[in-house]
Amino acid sequence: MKLYLKIWRQTNADSNGSFQNYEIDEITPDMSFLEMMDVLNEKLIIEGVDPVAFDHDCREGICGSCSLFINGRAHGPDTGITTCQLHMRKFQDGDSIVIEPFRASSFPVIKDLVVDRTSFDRIQHAGGYISINTSGNTQDANTIPIRKEDADNAFDAATCIGCGACVATCKNASAMLFVSAKVSQFSYLPQGQVEAKDRVLNMVKQMDEEGFGNCTNTGACEVECPKGISIKNIARMNKEFLKAKL
């Protein structure tokens, strides 16, 4: 496959970026999108050009590091996957592909396609801990009865990998889907009740301080989330927040 790439290049956080055009050949449909980027970077290095910086780690949809906006969509043209799980078979020979970083003022660009998502880390830190009695024998997890539906909902919320696709997709750059997933994964479980009030208040406060926008229920975040996190979690977080405030 021959491809025409239009990639956002930016030297550092303080410089103005711009799109640069690249042509790349000998890409096979079985390559992953990031392998295609590797091929491009090898070519650029041989030509003495600075390779394109992009985030990645596990390359199997687990860590949430990869974060590319491809042809106007977070994680590209497929659904339910991360950028590292996207394959070149989703494109045609001769295609033009526009590749940008996740854009949001709370995710400043560090270099090229790499953005600073430590705002998510600070929100999670604000959520604090859960109290567990660790004295004596280790407690068997099965001694605490939990409704199957609650356990499933908590697990579904916990599958959020914090990639930031929800923020990059939302017209308000809202982080409500991410934060609500982190609140919900504990709020469904008895272990999460002890610090429930402080957790939701502190996380929402930190989210606002980081400059994320509010939710206006467009639902784009749910559509583009690689893990299918439901916007029902946002309703749950709002309920938890109101309960804590009152």
Binding-site ranges for ligand FES (CB under 6 A): 56-59, 61-66, 82-84
The answer to whether 234 and 176 are in contact (CB under 8 A) is yes
- Of 32 and 119, which CB lies nearer to ligand FES in the complex structure? 32
- Of 84 and 166, which CB lies nearer to ligand FES in the complex structure? 84
The alpha-helical segments, DSSP class H, found in 60-195 are 118-127, 148-158, 165-169, 176-187
Q: How many CA atoms lie within 13 A of 208 on its CB side?
A: 5
The answer to whether 52 and 68 are in contact (CB under 8 A) is no
- Of 45 and 58, which CB lies nearer to ligand FES in the complex structure? 58
Per DSSP, 137 falls in state: S
From the CB of 77, what's the least distance to ligand FES, in Å? Answer: 16
- Of 10 and 65, which CB lies nearer to ligand FES in the complex structure? 65
How many secondary structure helices (H) and strands (E) does the chain include?
8, 7
- Of 69 and 188, which CB lies nearer to ligand FES in the complex structure? 69
From the CB of 84, what's the least distance to ligand FES, in Å? Answer: 3
From the CB of 59, what's the least distance to ligand FES, in Å? Answer: 5
The answer to whether 173 and 213 are in contact (CB under 8 A) is yes
From the CB of 157, what's the least distance to ligand FES, in Å? Answer: 18
Beta carbons within 8 Å of 201's beta carbon, 6+ residues apart: 241, 244, 245
From the CB of 66, what's the least distance to ligand FES, in Å? Answer: 3
